[in-house]
Structure 1
């Protein structure tokens, strides 16, 4: 009888594991340290580690899908994956199309980086990635906006003189400036934009949203989210 009970429990457990919901996590894979593709060709970074932990706490199985930024929302809506976890800031405009979890990365500043301290930020040419809140801000700033599909191209535009400066998330720009050997520098003032970063989901996926919200809350409460933020962004990062 004891053997039968143990066997039944093991079978039930294995069946439960097999029935765990697989959630396809859509990311760009081109925005370190938030997300990037490592030398093994796998999605890596802060959001990979965070996403795997969130899925574990929610009893879900993560499957990672890489998608270009400029089509990341349309492909979520059309069902190519189930979430966006790609450094996406929560904005009212995006919230009209998709839904968001609570933020897992606090509101932060965007910043300008240029090759000269004299860069013209108000009337010059500013590079930004297409479809970002930074591009939207520059479009209304009076400067000339030049958009690129990838963040790497925005940096290249400054290096080759195609743009006077790049405008992007401060935390994305920090390692680029540090590794430039003085060729690139922060200029002007930081600009607070967006309402933090959250997971994007289809508006119909309310149950999935609730599961991720609960997992994010638990990570905030036990301090593990702060540990991840510090690990990937340094001790100066704003934490919860």
Structure 2
């Protein structure tokens, strides 16, 4: 009888512990390969999906993924539709005024121009960029005409169909598109370093969640698994942590 009671007690304790496990909903765009995309099975996939799942294991969190359009991804975090953002979002002072960020999980990386011709005018021409990105802000501050689109696919399409002289985006996003274009797209000009790397966005009130994710990111940097994951998804030439 005592053994039975003990067994029941342990089971209840385990059940209670499982019920108390924190569930974290992670919002992502699902349209910015290789950071995040929808695979052939209709599921969220990519570098950030693999990374986020590992962070949740290390932080002892239960993770659920939510697909959300880029232009409303911060407002929907703030309003509580999910608890964190992993969507190729660079850490900037402007965004940090609205939400909080963990330490970065990719080093500051280059942005680049891709065009249909090497002589494309990237200084004074029409440049396509995704709305509400650091690339769009950079173009707006210069002498070129900014043409904004809701999705990254539309920015590249604008170059292909002649609406824009070039697209300005994360180079990691553009590299496979340029390589697979058969010469229809080429890089133009120098790379441009922008932002403070990419981090997990959380509400400013969620300091405990930020700390847990920070610790998990730190542990992956220390044991080398984060660098290995970056190389897996972005190639041997990707920026990694020294």
Q: Which TM-score applies when normalising by structure 1?
A: 0.97
Structure 2 CA distance for aligned equivalents of residues 45 and 3 of structure 1:
47
Match of 1:46 in 2: 47
> How many residue pairs are counted as aligned between the two chains?
240
Q: Deviations over 1:106-164 (max 9, x none)?
A: 10110000000000010100000000000000001100000000000000000000000
1:199 corresponds to 2:215: no
- Aligned residue in 2 for 1:55: 56
Structure 1 residue aligned with 2:118: 117
Deviation at 1:227, TM superposition (A): 1.1
Alpha-carbon offset, residue 8 of structure 1: 3.4
Q: Distance in 1 between matches of 2:189 and 2:3?
A: 72
The answer for the alignment partner of 1:179 in structure 2 is 180
What is the CA RMSD across the aligned residues, in angstroms?
1.1
Q: Which residue in the other structure is 2:150 paired with?
A: 149
Alignment of 1:1-240 (within 5 A): 1=2, 4-240=5-241
Residue 70 of structure 1, CA deviation: 0.5
CA distance in 2 between partners of 1:122 and 1:70 (Å)? 26
Sort the Cα spacing of 1:3 and 1:219 in 2 relative to 1 into closer, same or farther, 3 A.
farther
Give 1:14 deviation, angstroms. 3.3
Deviation at 1:10, TM superposition (A): 4.0
Structure 2: tracts of 5 or more residues without a match:
none
Structure 2 residue matching 1:118: 3-state secondary structure? coil
Report the alpha carbon displacement of residue 4 of structure 1 after superposing the two structures with TM: 4.9
SS in 2 for 1:113: strand
Q: What do residues 10-53 of structure 1 show as CA deviations (whole Å, max 9, x unaligned)?
A: 44223312321111100000000000011111110000000111
Tell me the distance in 2 between the aligned counterparts of 1:39 and 1:142. 40
Give the secondary structure class of the aligned counterpart of 2:205.
coil
CA–CA separation in structure 1 for the residues paired with 2:222 and 2:13: 31
Q: Deviations over 1:197-240 (max 9, x none)?
A: 00001100001100100110111111111111011001111111
Tell me, in whole angstroms, the C-alpha distance in 1 between the residues paired with 2:187 and 2:8: 63
| Distance in 1, Cα, partners of 2:67 & 2:9 | 40
Alpha-carbon shift at residue 101 of structure 1 (Å) = 0.3
Structure 1 unaligned spans of 5+: none
TM-score w.r.t. the length of structure 2 is 0.96
What is the CA–CA distance in structure 2 between the aligned matches of 1:6 and 1:233, rounded to whole Å?
A: 49
DSSP 3-state at the match of 1:212: helix
Cα deviation for residue 6 of structure 1 reads 4.9
